[in-house]
Amino acid sequence: MSRVKRGTHRRDRRRRVLKRTRGYRGMRGKLYRHAKQAVDRALSYAYRDRRNRKRDFRRLWITRINAASRERGLPYARFSQGLARAGIAVNRKQLAELAIHDPQAFDLLVSRARAALDAPATGA
């Protein structure tokens, strides 16, 4: 069996890891073993936080919608219930944008939601 030398493969792998850790403090940006551990940890945090970012934005949008709808006398839960009854399907991100940048349109949505809540429920 022939002898395997790891010249370029090992160097390339090492270079790739150290390139990712540029700017890290101390040994984490200089020594391969510490850099590799830092990269592994950073990638796992990145994976986790890509999911957490969605969660955080949803909380932010709900908070903004709740604040804007409470100013108009309708809490968030009743507002979303009224929108559902009125058949208005607008996602939370767009509702939050309307609440901030287009108050007249948000007022219209609140009035439609309130009207749908006041209307007699039609059910079986």
Among residues 87, 83, 84, 115, the alpha carbon closest in space to that of 99 is found at: 83
CATH number for the 7-118 domain, one of 3.40.50.720, 1.20.120.80, 1.10.1900.20, 3.40.50.10440? 1.10.1900.20
Helix then strand then coil, % of the chain, to nearest 5: 75, 0, 25
At 7, the amino acid letter reads G
Q: pLDDT at position 2, please? A: 81
CA 74, CA 66: separation in Å to the nearest integer?
Answer: 8
Tens-place pLDDT, residues 52-109:
999 999 999 999 999 999 999 999 999 999 999 999 999 999 999 999 999 999 999 9
Average pLDDT on 96-124 reads 89
Q: Is 124's pLDDT higher than 90?
A: no
Nearest to 99 by CA among 76, 67, 56, 54: 67
Where do the structural domains in the chain lie, given as residue ranges? 7-118
Residues whose CB is less than 8 angstroms from the CB of residue 5 and which lie 6 or more positions away in sequence, other chains included: none
Condensed to tens digits (0 to 9), the pLDDT of residues 2-39 reads 887 777 888 999 999 999 999 999 999 999 999 999 99
pTM of the model: 0.77
